[in-house]
Chain A
Amino acid sequence: MTAASKAVASAIEPPVEPALAADGLGVRYGSFVALKDITLRVRPNSVHAIIGPNGAGKTTLFHALTGRVRAASGRITLGGRDITRTRDDDRVRLGLARSFQVTSLFATLSVRENLRLAAQGRTPWAALAPWRAVSERDAAFAVVDALLARLDLAGVAGRPAGELSHGQQRRLEVGMAMAARPRVILLDEPTSGMGTDDIGAMTDLIRDLGRDHTVLFIEHNMGIVMNISDTVTVMRAGQVLVEGRPAAVRDDPEVRRAYLGNMITGDLR
């Protein structure tokens, strides 16, 4: 289904159960209100972008959705299940994984071990056994090797993650989220700091991910956002400003007048 036909379908059919949803979500840091009354519906198998100026609360929204920070108010549901009070590690088991804006890897461990750990994170209690050795035939390694090939990291699989180039680290960062085989994958500025060549590959990867996962991503490069997203949510000052299809958001007079005009950095393909 193309983005356009999906939008038409959603207009006539009864609304499908969102893969991930927030209702009236609020987050406070002390007396500072970081998020206020956020309502978000992420449709299954869609690519959903979050944009907005720095300080709009995009990363805080990710922190709240994944459970790193506690919601002060509102409700979060994953596939209809209330996860508002669920711990961050438990949310991974329910099918929610994320990557970070600032690369966050296990720097002294090999690339392969980084991915193996991320794959194991889906069944962490099995890893608690202090007598069980890591078998090379472990099912996790099938996932790991497939990811190494897909992310073009097979050549550096044995190197410590801390020694990789920036582009490789960014790919591994996204791979760590993919390794848990999540239903919903949250990517926080996956292209941050990347060179032009790497950006193209990452864009294709995100578009691909949308086929068998649900992708929610934060991005500053409007070219990527406009080209691969089914839905775009614009945030400002901890609130949702506008939500809609990319073209509608781009042409929204309020968005343009408010601030988006000079934010468009990428070209439309």
Chain B
Amino acid sequence: MTRLLERPIVHFGLAAATVLVLPLVLRSGTLASEILIYGLAAAACNLLLGYTGLLSFGQGIFFGLGSYAAGLILLRAGWPAPAMLPAVALVGAATATAVGWLSIRRQGVYFVMLTLAFSQLFYFLAYTLGDLTGGDNGLLNVPRPALGGKPLSDPWAYYAFVAALFLGLFAALQRVALSTFGRTLLAIRDNEARASAIGFPVRTFKVAAFAISGAVTALAGALHAMLIGVAPLSNIEYHTSETLLIMTIIGGAGNLFASVLGAAFYLVAGDLLSAIWPRWLLLLGVLLVAVALFMQRGLWGLVERAAALVAREPPPEPASADATLPEESRP
């Protein structure tokens, strides 16, 4: 049973099951779409955090930029959504290449600080360029994609659109993680100096990881803008980067589906708790402390433990559990 949980096809099956189950358990199509969108962005974040060992606070840049690019291309250029999405992915990849290329010149804390600095830079850029971005108000009236001439204004119709893209991109990310490229990223995460010593151009691999992560994150941002009809300033804020990192860490940095789990948990818990108590983020803080202290494999680690209990197998050893997080983020 625990072996089964390591197989990528099972992870894809779980992602597909999530897509099918969300409409059954949630009343809001908007929340369900949000879970898939943030799940995608968190999985892209995980490619950097869990697979490459890069704790990037710059993911909000690509998410927000994706939102703006989608709005501008749809509104100003008047392109249809199928042409807009590849363009947004290119914008995300190009920006992530530039941000990544500059940030990976430093390691550890200084790398993190550089991504934070870029995050602030792009936020103020978006704030200042009000003519393009709408400044504080955001870029309004971003249209939904149309099918057969009719826009997908029904939340569940749009959900279906998001779900199809989500599954396609999730499978693509899995393919990346399993490729020779993804396996080299794991080597870089484990021991960067050795990866370089056996012949890998480490910087190129890191920048490529950034580019892929940036492209997928930007696509998620585009989907989000079409979901809420606005490309808001908050999407490019530092807070979005933080949210994506929290989702990734709560889910567990070990595999891509864990990030979807983390996003789902964060959004559903937020939805339920905020109705009861507006200061619910306080509870989230407590949970994050608990994850950092006691369950470093995140929610996915709990799933594994539960599976091991069911199968009456010993749980995975803590030595390998520790190593799923990169050096810098270990306590």
Contact = CB atoms under 8 A, between A and B. Distances in A.
Interface of A: 66, 68, 87-90, 92-93, 97-98, 100, 104-109, 113, 117-118, 120-122, 124-134, 160, 162-163, 176, 179-180
Contacts of B239: none
A66 B194 CA distance: 12
A155 B122 CA distance: 53
Interface residues of B, number: 31
B196 A130 contact: no
B329 interface: no
A127 B180 contact: yes
Contacts of A125: 201
B186 A106 contact: yes
Interface centre among A90, A125, A131 (most CB of B within 10 A): A131
Interface of B: 175-176, 178-184, 186-187, 190-191, 193-202, 204-205, 208, 212, 319-320, 323-324
Given A68-B197, A121-B200, A130 B212 contact: yes
Contacts of A121: 198-200
B107 to A, nearest CB: 15
Contact of A176 (B182, B198, B201): B198
Given A108-B323, A130-B212, A163-B319, A122 B199 contact: yes
B197 A92 contact: yes
Contact of A117 (B184, B193, B201): B184
Contacts of B212: 130
A89 B199 contact: yes
Kindly list the 7 A-B residue pairs having the minimum CB-CB distance in the complex, ordered from nearest. A121-B199, A92-B199, A121-B198, A106-B190, A127-B180, A108-B323, A130-B181
Contact of B187 (A68, A87, A106): A106
A134 B198 contact: no
B199 A180 contact: yes
Nearest to B208: A128
B269 to A, nearest CB: 30
Nearest to A113: B183
A104 B199 contact: no
A89 B196 CA distance: 5
A89 B190 contact: no
